[in-house]
Structure 1
Amino acid sequence: MDILSPQNARVKEWAQLLEKKHRDKQQKYIIEGIHLVQEALRSGADLECVAFDVDQGIPNELLHMTGAGTEVEWIGVSAAVIAKCSDTKTPQPVFAVVRKQSAAIGLLLQRKNSLVIVLDGVQDPGNVGTIIRTADAAGADGVIVGRGSADIHNPKTIRSTMGSIFHLPVIEGDLLEIIPEAKEQGVRIVSTSLQATSTCYGYDFTKASWLLVGNEAKGVSDAAQQLVDESVIIPMKGRAESLNVAMASTVMLFEAMRQRDFTTTIIPVQPPK
């Protein structure tokens, strides 16, 4: 059955998911746009429903996916309903309501030579989402988001992940409990510091390494810093004072990927004949 009125009780529940307290209460969140809905369906996320603009119909890119997940309800809605459930100025013609699924920290603790990035008080949703996307691209085993960081189900965070939130475990928790557990399993905690004497290019990331990054303004908290095994510096040739936390995370993650999956081979340049 189509839902056309923004005053519909179900629509009001969906619109509430734009606020964290209601996401926590309902244990659900909203994703917007064709790409994110595609990724959620492909990844087997627990979708309650997909709502599409009834005047435009189900987007062509999603037509073949209407049978993916027999429990997923497809609902035609008005443009006014879509606008009420979106936090963007120009809403896309489709959104979905997703039930939260919590990943188990035990999976990461048991993984041999795990590569994980740990966020300590990273407050910007765009940074959190970008780091999740980068971790996915670099083949990391997971992301741990400590308390005080942006909500991983914030619409801006979700958009910034570009669907990567459905590709790898993203766990929210207390770092002062999780990190000591990891250290007991032989994981080394690595962080960046402007005072470090060794560079990220000289560190061995092939062993179990969890990369700890901190708040945009204050860096890693004192309590978390006490748990760090090794501090490294990202060398910079230019005059920039520092890197954005998402950029620094990218440098570290891709250096770890290079060491783990690629060997440097120098191809000699042949002189012209």
Structure 2
Amino acid sequence: MRFEQITSVKNNRVKDWAALKQKKYRTQTGLYIAEGVRLVEDALASGAPIEAILVSGDLQSGRYDKIVNGVASQNIQVYEVTEQVMEHVSDTKTPQGVIAVLRQTIGDPHDFLENKTDPLYLVLDGIQDPGNLGTMIRTADAVGATGVFLGKTCVDLYNPKVVRSTMGSMYHLPLFEVDLELFLPAMKRQGVRVVGTTTDADKTVFQHDFTIGTALVIGSEAHGLSAGIADLVDHSIALPMPGQAESLNAAIASSVMLYEALRQRTK
């Protein structure tokens, strides 16, 4: 198999790919980058819409076998690039030697809500830390959540740090970016209970019934739920903390709650 070679950082394609590290260019083009062997393998295996794959290093080493086989079956363009080009496009200090350029997937969230039986949705309001967002998506994937909905004040789903921190889970479950103040009422019309997390709720996560259709809403790391979203919550729950810690970060809190939901649904 023969691949096209690119050796200069001044190449127009390279300039376009490098620009995808900035949100404005991701928005303009509808493209984003995913870095790392495992992440690109997961994207290929899931049938994600890959535009191109960049590889630096020895393609015959065996390290890229799954990627080479995957692109051959899906007719995806591969570019052999120099380490300098890879470093220019990469968002990391030590690139892993493979980057995929993908199209952002935009589904209709309203169609997605139809005909779901007792769904478990993770809804995120104002999550700003890329690592937290990626971890929350991974946990939702791990517990078999029905889908994840990001409010417009969350960090960009296609931020390279978010993409990496999902460790491939973003290719395993439906993800939507929505206006929560308009969309949560649509969930309610489908019989879904909107459950918010606050530190002063009367009921704990362990006392709440997660076995029916639930949208678990997690607020920002610094401020919790925004006022408009808090007004739409049907039930408020809290994590009991008998120790001396003031709080848990959003990713840990959501993980505990999602696993409690899983426990109730599988017992």
TM bucket, shorter chain: over 0.9
1:62 counterpart residue number: 67
- Whether the aligned pair in 2 keeps the contact of 1:34 and 1:61 (CA below 8 Å) is no
Structure 1 residue 64, shift from structure 2 partner: 2.8
Superposed counterparts of 1:251-262, under 5 Å: 251-261=256-266
Q: Secondary structure at the match of 1:207?
A: coil
Which of 61, 65, 81 aligns to 1:77? It is 81
Deviation per residue, 1:172-198 (Å, 9 max, x gap): 010011101111111100011221111
Q: For residue 201 of structure 1, what is the aligned residue in structure 2?
A: 206
Q: Does structure 2 conserve the Cα–Cα contact (< 8 Å) formed by 1:112 and 1:208?
A: yes
Post-superposition Cα deviations, 1:86-128, rounded to whole Å, max 9, x if no partner, equal 1111011110100111122121343111101111111111111
Larger-gyration structure (1/2) = 1
Amino acid at match of 1:15: A
2:183 matched residue in structure 1: 178
SS at match of 1:162: coil
Q: Which amino acid aligns with 1:148?
A: T
Residue 271 of structure 1: aligned partner: none
Distance 1:144 1:229 in 2: 17
Per-residue CA deviations over 1:36-91 (Å, capped at 9, x if unaligned) read 000000000000111101x4226234233232312x11111111110011111101
Match of 1:122 among 102, 124, 127: 127
Alignment partner of 2:249 out of 244, 250, 259? 244
Out of 12, 17, 22, the position equivalent to 1:19 is 22
Mapped contact 1:103–1:171 kept (Cα < 8 A): yes
* Paired amino acid for 1:103: G
**Contact 1:118-1:212 within 8 A present in 2 as well:** yes
Counterpart Cα distance in 2 of 1:32 and 1:250? 25
1:133-174 deviation per Cα after TM superposition (whole angstroms, max 9, x unaligned)? 110001001100001110000000001100000011110010
1:47-196 to 2 correspondences below 5 Å? 47-53=50-56, 55-57=57-59, 59-70=64-75, 72-105=76-109, 106-196=111-201
Asked whether the equivalents of residues 108 and 142 of structure 1 are also in contact (C-alpha less than 8 Å), the reply is: no
In structure 1, the gaps of 5 or more residues are: 264-273
CA separation in 2, counterparts of 1:68 and 1:226? 50
Q: d(CA) in 1 for partners of 2:84 and 2:115?
A: 48
Structure 2 residue ranges without an equivalent (≥5)? none
Q: Is the 8 A contact 2:44 2:67 kept in 1?
A: no
> Which structure 2 residues correspond to residues 212-223 of structure 1 after superposition, within 5 A?
212-223=217-228
How many percent identity over aligned positions?
46
Describe the SS at the equivalent of 1:76. Answer: strand
Distance of 1:259 and 1:211 partners within structure 2:
14
Counterpart AA for 1:237: P
TM-score normalised according to structure 1 size: 0.93
* Separation in structure 2 between the aligned mates of residue 202 and residue 135 of structure 1, nearest angstrom: 20
Q: Does the CA-based 8 Å contact 1:41-1:68 persist in structure 2?
A: no
1:266 is matched with which residue?
none
The ranges of structure 1 where at least 4 consecutive aligned residues each deviate by more than 4 angstroms after the TM superposition are none
